[in-house]
């Protein structure tokens, strides 16, 4: 079968899982921002596991009472109830018994999950059908969604978006400054309860798609990715929703395509695939996001270091030029001590920047080179003058700081310093401070 992307939105079988998981992951992206910024991402993890006894218990109950028609509703109620109990226990442990937060989260997670599995084992031999159904909630089963799920997830998405839009200001206050929120008369306890209910509701509805074990990833991954791209809360919600939806769709897409390309020999589970894709997106964002990505950060640092080296070399050449030396490579090696290969590399870069030109074995500064070199020396000496005259530091201790600051000072700062020091002609070492070359 030929699979185009568009196919995933029109085909009656594929439509529901694709759109459904997109909507669900979008919602969990939005909700994830709330827990991520409060640094309680792992609460989602515990509560998702805590839904399992509710799920298995109510499936079993429905099996005993022959309530197959309202099964999905019952499962929702059961999951919600047991997540609430889980939260209550965590809260009690933390506040009444002063158990540390991580231990109480883990204890509740492990105990509830164990209880859920015990309940599931009741059905194992007696009701194989129910048991299979319980197992699908472990890893989720996005592939068997129907159109009704699109409606449910759509309504959920709408509610969450409306909630965030209406209470945006209050949420921002609550997330970043709870005492302020309380002081300005925001009903922060009520709001906190509502946020908590929204989180649990999303978890409960989402476990069918992603499973109790992996549901928390759907909350964390999009928020992590979104945080890399923005510093604004509003944009973070948008990015997170986008990343969530993208992860949901690509997860389903890759699961279907991979399963099909192996002609049914292997089936790739959709829930873990969604998590895997979302996790990869988050990893990509952590490494390569503009500004905050690790690799980008390192590249920026490396660029800055290279610029410093170039400026230092230019400064040295300018000084030698002032002294009237003819500048060639042996002289520079003697003065600076770079290895010859590295030195040639930087010299070539400076030539490319049109600050140097070469005549035979000698290098000469261009007009631009003279201007730039003078500026660096000027900044260096201005800073030394500032440290000594204005801050009263000892003369022999200012050189090191000036070596660093000469690369950082901006033209505005230079102007301010000039004004402050009344346009000095000499630095503390009695060296002339070069004039600004226009």
Q: Rank residues 106 and 401 by Cβ distance to other proteins and give the closer one.
A: 106
**Residue from the set 81, 85, 107, 159 that interacts with other proteins by CB under 8 A:** 107
117 is an interface residue for other proteins by CB under 8 A? yes
CA distance 1 to 69: 34
| By the rule CB under 8 A, 96 interacts with other proteins | yes
Exposed e or buried b per residue across 332-358, where buried means at least 16 C-beta atoms within 10 angstroms of its C-beta: beeeeebeeeebeebbebbeeeebbee
106 binds other proteins (CB under 8 A): yes
- State yes or no: residue 438 binds other proteins (CB under 8 A): no
Nearer to other proteins (CB atom), residue 60 or residue 376: 60
Q: Binding segment for other proteins among 13-21, 265-273, 311-319, 323-331 (CB under 8 A)?
A: 265-273
Among 29, 45, 60, 149, binds other proteins (CB under 8 A): 45
> Residues 346-375: x/- map of binding to other proteins (CB under 8 A)?
------------------------------
Under the criterion CB under 8 A, does residue 135 sit at the interface with other proteins? Answer: yes
Minimum distance from residue 198 beta carbon to other proteins (Å):
17
| Candidate residues 39, 334, 400, 425; the one interacting with other proteins per rule CB under 8 A | 39
Whether 206 and 149 have beta carbons less than 8 Å apart is answered as no
Q: Do the Cβ atoms of 275 and 210 come closer than 8 Å?
A: yes
272 near other proteins, rule: CB under 8 A = yes
Q: Which of 11, 15, 72, 94 binds other proteins (CB under 8 A)?
A: 94
20 or 251, CB closer to other proteins? 251
Kindly state whether residue 269 participates in binding other proteins, applying the rule CB under 8 A: yes
Both tokens of residue 23? Answer: 């909507």
Our finding on whether 120 is near other proteins (CB under 8 A) is yes
Q: What residues from 163 to 192 belong to the interface with other proteins (CB under 8 A)?
A: 178-179
Q: Does 230 bind other proteins (CB under 8 A)?
A: no
Q: Is 306 in the site for other proteins (CB under 8 A)?
A: no
Q: Is position 290 an interface residue for other proteins (rule: CB under 8 A)?
A: no
Bridge pairing between strands 362-365 and 356-359: antiparallel
Token pair of 278, please? 């979302």
Q: Which stretch binds other proteins (CB under 8 A): 148-156, 212-220, 325-333, 410-418?
A: 212-220
Give the one residue of 3, 7, 14, 42 binding other proteins; rule: CB under 8 A: 42
* Cα dihedral 61→67→73→74 (10° resolution): -10
Using rule CB under 8 A, residue 267 touches other proteins: yes
# of chain residues touching other proteins (CB under 8 A): 65
CB 327 within 8 A of CB 362: yes
**Site for other proteins, rule CB under 8 A:** 36, 38-42, 44-45, 49, 94, 96-103, 105-107, 109-111, 113-115, 117-118, 120-122, 124-126, 135, 138-139, 178-179, 213-214, 216-217, 220-221, 223-224, 265-269, 271-273, 275-276, 279-280, 282-283, 286-287, 294
């Amino acid at each position: 079968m030929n699979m185009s992307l568009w196919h995933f939105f029109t085909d009656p079988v594929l439509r529901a899982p694709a759109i459904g998981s997109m909507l669900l992951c979008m919602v969990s992206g939005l909700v994830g921002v709330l827990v991520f910024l409060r640094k309680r991402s792992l609460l989602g993890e515990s509560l998702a596991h805590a839904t399992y006894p509710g799920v298995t218990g109510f499936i079993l109950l429905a099996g005993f009472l022959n309530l197959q028609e309202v099964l999905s509703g019952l499962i929702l109620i059961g999951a919600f109830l047991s997540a609430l109990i889980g939260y209550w226990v965590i809260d009690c442990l933390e506040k009444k018994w002063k158990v540390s937060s991580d231990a109480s989260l883990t204890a509740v997670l492990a105990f509830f999950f164990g209880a859920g599995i015990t309940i599931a084992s009741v059905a194992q031999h007696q009701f194989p059908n129910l048991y299979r159904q319980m197992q699908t909630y472990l890893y989720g089963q996005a592939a068997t969604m129907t159109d009704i799920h699109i409606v449910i997830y759509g309504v959920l998405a709408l509610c969450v978006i409306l909630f965030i839009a209406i209470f945006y200001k209050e949420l921002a206050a609550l997330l970043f400054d709870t005492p302020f929120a309380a002081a300005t008369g925001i009903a922060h306890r009520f709001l906190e309860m509502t946020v908590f209910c929204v989180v649990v509701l999303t978890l409960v509805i989402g476990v069918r798609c992603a499973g109790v074990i992996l549901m928390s990833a759907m909350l964390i991954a999009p928020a992590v990715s979104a945080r890399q791209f923005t510093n604004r809360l509003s944009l973070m919600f948008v990015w997170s929703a986008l990343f969530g939806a993208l992860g949901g769709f690509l997860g389903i897409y890759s699961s279907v395509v991979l399963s099909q390309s192996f002609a049914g020999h292997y089936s790739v589970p959709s829930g873990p695939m969604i998590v895997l894709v979302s996790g990869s997106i988050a990893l990509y964002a952590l490494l390569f996001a503009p500004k905050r990505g690790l690799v980008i950060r390192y590249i920026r640092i490396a660029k800055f270091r290279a610029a410093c080296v170039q400026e230092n070399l230019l400064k040295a050449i300018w000084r030698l030029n002032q002294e009237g030396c003819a500048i060639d490579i042996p002289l520079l090696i003697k003065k600076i001590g770079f290895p010859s290969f590295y030195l040639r590399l930087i010299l070539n870069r400076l030539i490319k920047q049109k600050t140097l030109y070469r005549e035979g074995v000698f290098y000469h500064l261009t007009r631009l080179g003279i201007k730039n070199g003078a500026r660096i020396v000027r900044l260096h000496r201005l800073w030394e003058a500032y440290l000594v005259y204005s801050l009263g530091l000892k003369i022999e201790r200012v050189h090191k700081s000036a070596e660093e600051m000469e690369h950082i000072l901006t033209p505005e700062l230079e102007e301010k310093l000039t004004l402050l020091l009344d346009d000095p002609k000499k630095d503390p070492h009695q060296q002339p401070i070069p004039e600004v070359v226009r």
